[in-house]
Amino acid sequence: MKNIQNLGLGLFLIGLTIFTSLIFLGKYEVTPQVLDEIISNKSIKSEHLINDLKTNVVGKEFSNPFLFSSEITSALEIANETHKQNSEWGKVIWDKPHSFSYEIAKKSGTGIIKEHKGLFWWLTFGLGILGALLYIIPNVITLGPPGIKNNGIWLHAATNRGWIGWFAFVFLVGFYILLYFRPDYIVNWTYIVDPISESLSGNLASQWFLYGFLYCTVMTVMAVRMYIKYRHNKYQILRTTSVLFFQIVFAFLIPEILVRFEKPWYDFKNAFPLDYDFFFSWNLDQLIASGGLGIFILVWGIVLTLVIVPVMVYFFGKRWYCSWVCGCGGLAETLGDPYRQLSDKSLFAWKFERWIVHGVLVFALVMTGFTLYTYFQGAEAVLGIKTQTIQDIYGFLIGAIFAGVIGTGFYPIFGNRVWCRFGCPLAAYLGIVQRFKSRFRITTNGGQCISCGNCSTYCEMGIDVRAYAQKGENIIRSSCVGCGICAAVCPRGVLKLENGPEDGRINPTEILLGNDVDLLDFLKQK
């Protein structure tokens, strides 16, 4: 079995190496026809920019995306400086030059990768998937008798911030930086998923289609690991299946198929304020212009946020979304499962968490209030503050840096729920409802607790579960996502996830001693 795992690891590393090296391969040559098409689509009227591109880009062959991007962004910067007083044209080009460079590179690429997309898919995704499965599946035999084993997890370089963990951290952070800020550098990655994109939406793959496909692939492979590791726990099997289904079907397949029928791309499970741009003017205009389906999406998004979310949290806690539906939570529970023990359990982390996650929620609500006011009033600013500026700041700091680069890239160092715990505004909203108006709680049996600490160690949200279990307290915390791992790793069955009558929820500051004696009152009398 060890030989099979070594073979799997080798194949995975080969696939990963080839995938990474694709950035440096390929050729780019812009033809006059390609440039004219892009200029027409973008309604570019700057003769200076057009002439600059024709002089420095058209007809030349570039051997890598870095040189190609440099020439195009340089031309854009010069044109932007020349026309900076004119705000009526091409604003998106000047704000996002690398996205404009990506569009040109996508249509101008030549060479072996673009000509052999299927081959390179198998050399990257194919080898990676096969290698990962060969490494994971032998654990079915080696795990032995029932029970969840985490032996040696603090001694492994991959799961205890060792050199493997730091390598994974650097790779993930680098990937997200390229994805969000330098898409023109990863055009070759998008080529290898073009056939899949065309079969679903009828369009060539963008960097976001690449990310969606990669997201689903990673979740599926790591879900196999979850099925093996937690194979004797029905709750974990069902939960893993649920997040996998909602990610693949609702977040990936349905939106792409909608595009094929010229409908708005929309993830029906994504609720505001996680879907922070839902009320942006461009989205509202697109939905309204799309007719019946667009209006339905608009109404559904509002009802989902204001009605369905709080009602479901009341009956089932925030776990119904965070651990059973959400794509962010799904990736955290599959790819991030090996790192859950790295979450900070300190008092400082808890205080920081409360301030920042609710701060992001307030930021999102204020931004949306400004957005709706300017949309209906036809204004550009509120109290002298431009709405577009607020949207840009939120999109950059929260939507890209926090949710993307930090939210996933930091898994191997800070645990798998960094975004969910510290940054997700929807998690903050769900948590407020769960804390004060929900039937969900984790009940404990203090008499059975042996203080092994497994529950606290593997709590991804940084909750000291053992402290509650030792005192027999119900756990009612706004941050708890109800993943159930604390109950799964408890050797004594002390913990149980329940949805009961609201009046049965016990305040976590109270200590249960029995029906006749209340120690707190006794001490107060003394």
Q: Is residue 223 in a domain?
A: no
Using the 3D structure, point to which of 54, 77, 110 is the last residue of a domain.
Answer: 110
Tell whether 383 and 445 lie within a shared domain: no
Query: Which range marks the domain in which residue 521 is found?
Result: 440-525
354 vs 365: CA distance, rounded Å? 17
Regions of the chain where pLDDT drops below 70: 42-49, 79-96, 140-151, 502-526
Tell whether 86 and 31 lie within a shared domain: yes
450 vs 447: CA distance, rounded Å? 8
Q: Is residue 120 in a domain?
A: no
* DSSP annotation of 145: S
Q: Give how many domains the chain has, as a whole number.
A: 3
Specify the CATH number for the domain of residue 516: 3.30.70.20
Tell whether 40 and 105 lie within a shared domain: yes
Tell whether 409 and 446 lie within a shared domain: no
Tell whether 366 and 413 lie within a shared domain: yes
78 vs 440: CA distance, rounded Å? 58
Q: Is 99 exposed, middle or buried (0-12, 13-18, 19+ CB in 10 A)?
A: middle
Q: Is residue 65 in a domain?
A: yes
What is the residue-wise DSSP string for 267-309? -TT--TTTSTTTTSHHHHHHHHHTTHHHHHHHHHHHHIIIIIH
Which residue in 445, 504, 450 sits closest to 471, CA to CA? Answer: 445
Tell whether 392 and 465 lie within a shared domain: no
Tell whether 406 and 449 lie within a shared domain: no
Q: Is residue 87 in a domain?
A: yes
Distance, C-alpha 39 to centroid of its chain: 33
Q: Is residue 123 in a domain?
A: no
Using the 3D structure, point to which of 426, 452, 487 is the last residue of a domain.
Answer: 426
44 vs 320: CA distance, rounded Å? 47
Residues with Cβ within 8 Å of residue 33, at least 6 apart in sequence: none
Report the pLDDT value the prediction gives residue 143, as an integer from 0 to 100: 60
Tell whether 405 and 457 lie within a shared domain: no
Residues with Cβ within 8 Å of residue 274, at least 6 apart in sequence: 326, 328, 424, 425, 426
How far does the chain reach from its first CA to its final CA, in angstroms?
A: 65
377 vs 373: CA distance, rounded Å? 6
Amino acid at 16: L
452 vs 469: CA distance, rounded Å? 11
Q: Is residue 390 in a domain?
A: yes
Report the pLDDT value the prediction gives residue 515, as an integer from 0 to 100: 39
Q: Is residue 352 in a domain?
A: yes
Using the 3D structure, point to which of 110, 134, 156 is the last residue of a domain.
Answer: 110
Tell whether 453 and 488 lie within a shared domain: yes
Contact 62, 104 (CB under 8 A): no
Q: Is residue 212 in a domain?
A: no
Report the pLDDT value the prediction gives residue 1, as an integer from 0 to 100: 74
Tell whether 358 and 415 lie within a shared domain: yes
Report the pLDDT value the prediction gives residue 420, as an integer from 0 to 100: 95
Report the pLDDT value the prediction gives residue 174, as an integer from 0 to 100: 95
* pLDDT tens column, 35-75: 788 777 766 666 666 777 777 778 777 888 888 888 877 77
Tell whether 470 and 446 lie within a shared domain: yes
Tell whether 419 and 469 lie within a shared domain: no
